A and B are shown apart, each in its own frame.
Chain A
Amino acid sequence: MTTITLPASPRRPDWLPALLLLPALLVVATLFVYPLACSLLYAFRDEKLGVWGWGNFLRAWDLYARDIYFTFGVVLLSTALIGVLAIAIAGYLTLGENRRAVAVLRWLYRWPLFIPVVVAGQMMRTFLAKNGLMNNALMALDLIEPLQAISFLDWRGLVFTFVWKQLPFATLLLAGAMAALDRSMIEAARNLGAGRLRVLWQILMPQLRPTLLVSLILSFVAILSVLSVPMMINAGSPTMITVDMAWRVASYSDYGVANALGFISCAMCGLAAWFYLRQGLREGGRP
Chain B
Amino acid sequence: MSFGAARFSASPRAASRSAASPLAVSSFAAAALRNALIVLLALCIFGPLTNLLLWTVTEAWYFPAKLPVSWGFSYWTRVFRPEAGAMLALGNSVLIALSTVALSTLVAIPAGYALAQRGLPLRSLFLLLFLLPQAFPAIAVHLNIARIFYGFGLNGTITGVVLVHALQGLVFSVWITSAAFAAVGSEPIEAARNLGASPLRAFCDVSLPLASPGIIASAIFVFLISIDEFSGTFFVGAPEISTLPLQLYSAATEGNYQIASITALLLLLPSILFMFVVERFLRADVLAKIGT
Contact = CB atoms under 8 A, between A and B. Distances in A.
B75 to A, nearest CB: 14
Contact of A123 (B31, B48, B134, B235): B48
A198 B15 contact: yes
Nearest to B273: A114
Given A133-B50, A266-B136, A122 B264 contact: yes
B166 interface: yes
Contact of B117 (A17, A116, A255): A17
Interface stretch (A56-64, A181-189, A227-235, A277-285): A227-235
A124 B48 contact: yes
B231 A114 contact: no
B111 A23 contact: yes
Nearest to B61: A131
A237 interface: no
B38 to A, nearest CB: 6
A39 B136 CA distance: 11
Contact of B14 (A24, A123, A196, A263): A196
A105 interface: yes
Contact of A24 (B20, B48, B130): B130
Contacts of B199: 12
B66 A27 contact: no
A89 to B, nearest CB: 8
A115 B167 contact: no
Given A21-B114, A127-B51, A232-B249, A31 B164 contact: yes
Interface in A18-40: 18-21, 23-25, 27-28, 31-32, 34-36, 38-39
Interface string B129-170: 110111111111111111110000000000000011011001
A36 B135 contact: no
A246 B264 CA distance: 22
A31 B11 CA distance: 45
B272 A114 contact: yes
A122 B190 contact: no
Contacts of B241: none
Interface in A131-158: 131-134, 136-137, 139-140, 146, 149, 156
A164 B42 CA distance: 11
A48 B133 CA distance: 30
B69 to A, nearest CB: 11
A119 B248 contact: yes
B261 A122 contact: yes
A196 B4 contact: no
A130 B194 CA distance: 70
Interface residues of B, number: 104
B1 A20 contact: no
A49 interface: no
A16 to B, nearest CB: 8
A1 interface: no
B64 interface: yes
A271 interface: no
A116 B228 contact: yes
Contact of B167 (A27, A133, A249, A259): A27
A28 B257 CA distance: 39
A16 B236 CA distance: 34
Contact of A84 (B8, B19, B54): B8
Contacts of A245: 139-140, 143
B135 to A, nearest CB: 6
Given A38-B144, A92-B10, A115-B268, A25 B38 contact: no
B147 A125 contact: no
A126 B261 CA distance: 9
B204 interface: no
A224 B126 CA distance: 25
Given A35-B141, A88-B7, A126-B52, A21 B132 contact: no
15 contacts: A9-B193, A25-B111, A28-B167, A92-B10, A104-B38, A108-B41, A108-B45, A111-B46, A113-B275, A126-B51, A127-B51, A131-B63, A195-B19, A198-B15, A242-B139
Interface of A: 5-6, 8-9, 12, 16-21, 23-25, 27-28, 31-32, 34-36, 38-39, 42, 81, 84-85, 87-89, 91-92, 96-98, 101, 104-105, 108-128, 130-134, 136-137, 139-140, 146, 149, 156, 159-160, 163-164, 176, 180, 193, 195-198, 200, 217-218, 221-222, 224-228, 231-232, 235, 242, 245-246, 249, 255, 258-259, 262-263, 265-266, 268-269, 273
